[in-house]
Amino acid sequence: MKNKVTKAIFPVAGLGTRFLPATKSIPKEILCLVDRPLIQYAIDEAREAGIEEYIFVTSRGKGALEDYFDAAPQLEQSLKAKKKFDLLKVLNHSTMDSGEIAYVRQREALGLGHAVLCAERLIGDEPFAVILTDDVIAADKPCLKQMIEAHEQTGGNIVAAMEVPPSKASAYGLLDIKEDMGALVSVKGMVEKPEPEDAPSNLAVIGRYILTPGVMKNLRTQAAGAGGEIQLTDAIAKEIEKYDNVFGFRFDGQRYDCGSKAGFLQATVAFALARGDLSEEFMEFLIKMVDTRRAAQ
């Protein structure tokens, strides 16, 4: 079995109902933080981690995603003619080479585990990454790269992990910790969105995974779990029983839950403030805005 992780699955079939009406006509992965769509952040992170093949699990109505990564010859020509080379560079950054991206369709929304299983034939017998585009992680070293480095030491399965407030833990997959080694924790159980009284910890799974082909195999027969969906968490948990090879990884970085409106707004503000061309004006505006609101209270 190959050990290097060069393939990543991006489950992008979700309806994005939390962002209606915007997502009535555009995929939620095209929603922008400042001027880059969520999907671009995910692809950039994967590329920096050494990923060479990008597998999108899509659904009906996601055509805009395919177009986004395609060449745009008319636009290119017009930018060239106007000598707008900076913009041309920005444009080229979003274009993927032919054959780099593969698209598979998930015909029915049966859950994250099922979405990952849809990519089975393109993965084969090698470890692979899964990136959930809702989880945007700002970090000096991209989160997936940190995980791939950790994986070189541990092998097996690694999931990104982060402590969340206990009141919010039930919205996540949670880890039952066997041994806490700091950044790495070995895991003796995993449970998807448990009732608060059943939560094994408040160490939550965040949307970055490096998984063994065994997980894919488990998914083939995985019964529906939390929410009546086929859960990736459950298929990973089976590997603990079989091989005891599942780790949580506390990454360095700031995670934004861009699947929620509040998280999306926080990410927008943070990314805007981090931008040299925007920060000064934007910060001034924010301070004024906050002062005015406070004064009015």
Interacting residues with ligand G1P (CB under 6 A): 112, 132, 134-135, 172-173, 192, 204-207, 232-233, 259
Q: Which is nearer to ligand G1P, 106 or 233 (CB)?
A: 233
Q: What distance in Å separates the CA atoms of residue 3 and residue 6, rounded to the nearest whole number?
A: 9
Instruction: Determine what percent of the chain falls in helix, strand and coil, rounding each to the nearest 5.
Output: 45, 25, 35
Q: Which is nearer to ligand G1P, 137 or 148 (CB)?
A: 137
Residues 257/164, Cβ–Cβ less than 8 Å: no
Q: How far is the CB of 255 from ligand G1P (least distance, A)?
A: 9
Q: How far is the CB of 112 from ligand G1P (least distance, A)?
A: 5
Q: Which is nearer to ligand G1P, 79 or 106 (CB)?
A: 106
Distance of CA 256 to the CA centre of its chain: 10
Q: Which is nearer to ligand G1P, 11 or 156 (CB)?
A: 11
Token representation of residue 225: 């779990």
Residue number with the smallest Cβ distance to ligand G1P: 173
Q: How far is the CB of 263 from ligand G1P (least distance, A)?
A: 10
Token representation of residue 288: 């004024």
Q: Which is nearer to ligand G1P, 79 or 170 (CB)?
A: 170
Q: What distance in Å separates the CA atoms of residue 193 and residue 178, rounded to the nearest whole number?
A: 19
Q: Which is nearer to ligand G1P, 215 or 232 (CB)?
A: 232
Residues 211/193, Cβ–Cβ less than 8 Å: no
Residues 221/201, Cβ–Cβ less than 8 Å: no
Q: How far is the CB of 275 from ligand G1P (least distance, A)?
A: 25
Q: How far is the CB of 266 from ligand G1P (least distance, A)?
A: 15
Cβ burial, residue 223 (10 Å; 0-12/13-18/19+): exposed
Which residue type is seen at 78? S
Q: How far is the CB of 77 from ligand G1P (least distance, A)?
A: 40
Alpha helices (H) along 82-133: 85-93, 112-117, 120-123
Q: What is the DSSP string of 221-273?
A: TPPP-GGGS--HHHHHHHHHHHH--EEEEE-SSEEEETTSHHHHHHHHHHHHH
Q: Which is nearer to ligand G1P, 68 or 172 (CB)?
A: 172
Q: How far is the CB of 281 from ligand G1P (least distance, A)?
A: 32
